[in-house]
A and B are shown apart, each in its own frame.
Chain A
Amino acid sequence: MSTKDFDWKLVLRSGLLGGAIAILLSLIGIVTGFNETYIIYKVITFGELLVLGPILAFSFAALRRTSSSDSGVRFTTGALAGLTSGLVLLAFVGIGQVINLRAVFVNASPDLYAMLSYNQSLPIGMLLRLLVSGLVGLIVAGFTLLPTRLKQALGQGLIYVILIGLMGRLIGTVMTNWGFVSLLFEWMFASSGMSFLGAIVLFLLVGGLAYWRAGRPKVKPRLEPKKQQTVRWATLAGVGLVLIFLPNILGLWFSEILDNVGLFILMGLGLNIVVGFAGLLDLGYVAFYAIGAYTIGVLTSPELGFFNLTFWQAFPFALIVALIAGVLLGLPILKMRGDYLAIVTLGFGEIIRLLALSDWLKPWLGGTQGIQRIERPVIGLGNFTIELISQQQLYYLILAGIILVAFIAFRLRDSRLGRTWMALREDEDVAVAMGINHVATKLTAFAMGALFSGIGGTIFAAKIGSIYPSSFQFLVSINILSLIIVGGIGSIPGVFVGALALMGLPELLREFAEYRYLFYGAALVAMMLYKPEGLWPEARLKLELHEDEIPPPGDPVPSTEGS
C-alpha cells in the first residue's frame, strides 16, 4: 500500500464529523428516546442505528472520495474513519464522567452513557464501542469493493428492512383490517420492530429482487400502440379501483390522513394556478379557504339560525362569495409585482382571520367560539340518502372534488388562457406588447384560485362540523405554498406528490414522536438540495434549473418530427 493514495485529512475529517453528528443526535435526546424502539427485535434499536448511522454515512463518504481501488487502502480508510468516530464517542463519554454535562444538555444522562457503552462496565463497554465503530468502517469498505449489482441489492435490502422495521406499528394498523394477512404480520413483526426471521426474509426478498432486476437488460421491448392503449386503460382502471377502496383497505386512522392530504391537494391545485401558472406570489391564500368555510357555516348552522340551509343549498353561495372575494382582492393589487404582491396578500389573509375573530362580527361569525353544528352534506335521491359523516365517507366527497378540480386544472393549463398565464409569468412587458390584457388575465387566475380554495373550505367545514378562526392561520397558506414548491412549481402531479410528502409524511412519522419535525426538516433540506425543481417537476421548469445538463445550443436537438 502506497502512502500516497491514503488521505489522512479526509479520514480524520470524516471520522470526526461522523462522531460529532452521533453526539449531536445523542444530545438532542433522540438516541436515548428510541433506545427501546427496535428495528429488528432484540438485535438493533433505532437509537443504536442513530449512533451508527452517521459513522456509517461518513466512512462511506470518505470512501467515495478515495479514488484508489486498492483494497488495502480502502479497508484502512474505512476502518480508521470508523475508529476516529468511535474515539470521538469515547472522548464524549469520558468527558461526561468528569464534567456534569447534564447541567447544560439535559439528555446527557447516565442512560445515554450506559447505552453508548452497551450496558457494560465503562472500560469494556467503551472498547466494544470502539470496535463496533471500526467494524462499521471496515464493513462499509468491504461493501464499496463489491460489484455494483450486489451493492444495489444489499443496499436496497438494508433500506427496506430499516424502513419497514420503523413503520411496523403503522403497517400493523393497516394489516389488522385484513383478516388472514394479519397472520403474516404477526409472524414478520415482534412487539417492537421486525422479528429476526421476518427481517432476514424481507432482506433476502428485496435484495434478491433488486439483484434480479439489475441483471435484466435495460431496454424494454416496445409494445405496439394498440397494446399500449390497453395497458394504459388497465392501469387507469386499477388506480380507479384502488382509489375507490382505499379507505377500506387502509382503515379509519389512515382515512383521516387521506382526507387531510386530500384537502391540501384541493387547495394546492388552486394555488398552483395562481403561483405556478400565473406566477403571482399569493401568501394570503388561506383567506379564501376561510371564506368558503365560513359561508357554509353561516348559511347552514342551526346554532346561528340565520338561514338553516342544507350543505348543498349553501354550496353555490360559498363558491360565489369566494369568487367575488378573489376578484375584489385581485383588483387593487394586480398592478403590483413580486414581493409587494406577497406582502399585501399576506395582509389580506390576516385581515380575514381577524375579522372572523372580532367581537364586531361575533353575532354572525361567532368570534373565538366559531361556528358549530355545520350541516353535513347529504347525498342520494328520494329515500336513499346518506349523510356523509365519517372520515371514510367524506373521503369520497374529497376525491370527487379533487378529480373535478384536477380535470379543470389540466384543461386550463393546456388552454389558450393557460398559455397566456405562462407568457405573463415569464415576461409581463413582452406579453402586454403581444396584446395580452394583463389585468384581466391575472384576475382570472386569482379568481380561479379563490374558487378552488373556497371549495376546499366548504368541504373542510363539512368535515370538521365546526370552525374556529384558529383553523385559518397564516401557516396554512405557507403549507400550501410549500407543498407546491416541494412537488414542483406549476406541475399538477407535483401538487399530489407534494401534498403526500408534506402533509402525509409527518403523519407517518408519528412514530418519531416529538422529533418528527426534525426528520421532516432534514428531508426537506435534502430535497431542496438534490431536487430543487421539485419531486415531480413541470417539464419546462426542469430545463431551467438544470441548465448544465442541457446540450449546448449548437447541438442538434432530438425532434419527434422528421423535417
Chain B
Amino acid sequence: MPMLEVENIHTYYGNIHALKGVSLKVEEGEIVSLIGGNGAGKTTTLRTISAALKPREGQVTFMGMDLRKHRPHDVVRKGIAMVPEGRRIFAQMTVMENLEMGAYTRKDKKKIAEDLEWVFELLPRLKERRRQVGGTLSGGEQQMLATARAMMTRPRLLLMDEPSMGLAPVLVEAIFDTIVRINKEGTTILLVEQNALMALSVANRGYVLETGTIVMHDTGEALKKNASVQKAYLGME
C-alpha cells in the first residue's frame, strides 16, 4: 500500500474548478516531484492533501487514514508537514522561536532537542543565526528556515512547495542537496517545482500537472528524456 494515495480529487475555489481529477501515489521512502506551469494547480494539490482545502470529490489516504476527515491542524499530528510556497516564516520570531513553533505539537523535550541538533547540523547557517529575527534573514536563509521548521514536526511525509523559487543557482543546489539528505535519513518527500530539471533529477518518480489534470507520469529519468517535457519545462527544442 502506498504511503499517500490521492485518488481523483476535484478541488474548487468557489466556482473555479482548480483540480479536475488529480490522482497520484507516493511510496514510503520516495522523492516524488510534481511539476507544472504557473496556475497548473500544484499548490492547490498540496493544500488539498494537507486538508487546508476540502476536495468536492475524491479520496486522500495517508497510511490508511482518510485525510479528508481531519481538521487542518490535526494533519501535522498524523505525520505530514508542509514547507509553504514563498518562504512563509514567522517574520517577527527569531530563528529559534520559529523552530520551536515547528515542534508545537510535540511533547518530548529530549527528542525535540535532538532534532534541533540534527536540523542545525543539516543547515549550519541557521545555527549561526538562531537569535536573529526571521524577517531579517536573506531569502535563501528563510527557505532553509521554513524547511527546518517543517522538519521539527518530525514528519513522515514532507510536502515542499517550490523550495527553489527565486534563489540563486548555488543556493538552489544547496537546497536540493538538503532535500536529498532529508530523504536519505528517512523522510518521504512530495516536491512541487517549476525548476523541472532539478526536481526530476532528484526524484524517483514524477508527475506533470497541466490545468488541474495530471497529463504524464513516469520515473524522473524518463520524464527528463521525454520530448514534450523537454519542450515545455526544460526549455529545450
Q: Do A and B come from one complex?
A: yes
CB within 8 A of A432: which of B73, B131, B135, B141? Answer: B73
A residues near B, CB below 8 A? 419-420, 422-423, 426-427, 429-438, 540-541, 543-544, 550, 553-554, 557, 559-561, 563
Distance in Å: Cβ of B217 to nearest Cβ of chain A: 27
Distance in Å: Cβ of B148 to nearest Cβ of chain A: 13
**Contact between chains at A543 and B129 (CB < 8 Å):** no
Inter-chain contacts of B72 with A (CB < 8 A): 432-433
**Contact between chains at B133 and A435 (CB < 8 Å):** no
**Contact between chains at B52 and A429 (CB < 8 Å):** yes
CA distance A436 to B104 in the complex (A): 8
CA distance A426 to B134 in the complex (A): 12
B182 interface residue, CB < 8 Å from A? no
Distance in Å: Cβ of A414 to nearest Cβ of chain B: 11
CA distance A115 to B219 in the complex (A): 92
B97 interface residue, CB < 8 Å from A? yes
**Contact between chains at B101 and A419 (CB < 8 Å):** yes
Known interface pairs A419-B100, A429-B52, A561-B131. Does A438 touch B73 (Cβ–Cβ under 8 Å)? yes
B residues near A, CB below 8 A? 50, 52, 71-77, 81-82, 84, 88-93, 97, 100-102, 104-105, 127-129, 131-133, 135-138, 141, 149, 153
Distance in Å: Cβ of B14 to nearest Cβ of chain A: 16
CA distance A426 to B89 in the complex (A): 9
Inter-chain contacts of A554 with B (CB < 8 A): 138
**Contact between chains at A433 and B131 (CB < 8 Å):** no
CB within 8 A of B132: which of A430, A436, A557? Answer: A557
Distance in Å: Cβ of B158 to nearest Cβ of chain A: 12
Distance in Å: Cβ of B151 to nearest Cβ of chain A: 12
CA distance A436 to B74 in the complex (A): 8
**Contact between chains at A434 and B137 (CB < 8 Å):** no
Known interface pairs A426-B90, A429-B52, A541-B92. Does A434 touch B76 (Cβ–Cβ under 8 Å)? yes
CA distance A67 to B212 in the complex (A): 63
Known interface pairs A553-B137, A554-B138, A557-B132. Does A427 touch B90 (Cβ–Cβ under 8 Å)? yes
CA distance A427 to B177 in the complex (A): 28
CA distance A543 to B136 in the complex (A): 9
Inter-chain contacts of A432 with B (CB < 8 A): 52, 72-73
Contact sample, A vs B, 27 pairs, CB 8 Å cutoff: A419-B97, A420-B104, A422-B92, A423-B90, A423-B93, A423-B104, A426-B90, A426-B91, A426-B93, A427-B88, A429-B84, A432-B52, A432-B73, A433-B50, A433-B52, A433-B75, A434-B104, A435-B76, A435-B77, A435-B104, A435-B153, A436-B104, A544-B92, A553-B141, A554-B138, A557-B136, A560-B131
CA distance A541 to B92 in the complex (A): 7
Inter-chain contacts of A438 with B (CB < 8 A): 73
**Contact between chains at B92 and A433 (CB < 8 Å):** no
Inter-chain contacts of B136 with A (CB < 8 A): 543, 550, 553, 557
**Contact between chains at B131 and A559 (CB < 8 Å):** yes
Distance in Å: Cβ of B82 to nearest Cβ of chain A: 5
CA distance A423 to B89 in the complex (A): 9
Distance in Å: Cβ of A439 to nearest Cβ of chain B: 9
Inter-chain contacts of B50 with A (CB < 8 A): 433
Other contacts beyond A432-B72, A553-B136, A557-B136: 14, CB < 8 A: A423-B90, A426-B92, A426-B93, A433-B75, A433-B84, A434-B102, A434-B153, A435-B105, A436-B104, A540-B93, A543-B135, A544-B92, A553-B141, A557-B131
CA distance A559 to B100 in the complex (A): 19
Q: Which residue of chain A is the closest to B82 with respect to CB atoms?
A: A433
CA distance A550 to B77 in the complex (A): 37
CA distance A448 to B187 in the complex (A): 40
CA distance A541 to B135 in the complex (A): 11
CA distance A561 to B96 in the complex (A): 13
CA distance A434 to B88 in the complex (A): 12
Q: Which residue of chain A is the closest to B100 with respect to CB atoms?
A: A419
Inter-chain contacts of B92 with A (CB < 8 A): 422, 426, 540-541, 543-544
CA distance A427 to B132 in the complex (A): 19
Q: Which residue of chain A is the closest to B71 with respect to CB atoms?
A: A437
Q: Which residue of chain B is the closest to A427 with respect to CB atoms?
A: B88
CA distance A433 to B72 in the complex (A): 7
Known interface pairs A435-B153, A543-B136. Does A430 touch B88 (Cβ–Cβ under 8 Å)? yes
Inter-chain contacts of A423 with B (CB < 8 A): 90, 93, 101, 104
Q: Which residue of chain B is the closest to A560 with respect to CB atoms?
A: B131
CA distance A540 to B129 in the complex (A): 16
Q: Which residue of chain B is the closest to A425 with respect to CB atoms?
A: B92
Inter-chain contacts of A543 with B (CB < 8 A): 92, 133, 135-136
Inter-chain contacts of B127 with A (CB < 8 A): 563
CA distance A423 to B135 in the complex (A): 13
CB within 8 A of B133: which of A419, A436, A540, A560? Answer: A540
CA distance A426 to B128 in the complex (A): 24
Inter-chain contacts of B76 with A (CB < 8 A): 433-435
Distance in Å: Cβ of B56 to nearest Cβ of chain A: 20
Q: Which residue of chain B is the closest to A554 with respect to CB atoms?
A: B138
Distance in Å: Cβ of A337 to nearest Cβ of chain B: 15
Inter-chain contacts of A544 with B (CB < 8 A): 91-92, 135
**Contact between chains at B129 and A557 (CB < 8 Å):** yes
Inter-chain contacts of B81 with A (CB < 8 A): 433
Distance in Å: Cβ of A279 to nearest Cβ of chain B: 11
**Contact between chains at A429 and B88 (CB < 8 Å):** yes
Query: Which of A431, A435, A540, A554 counts the most chain B CB atoms within 10 A?
Result: A435
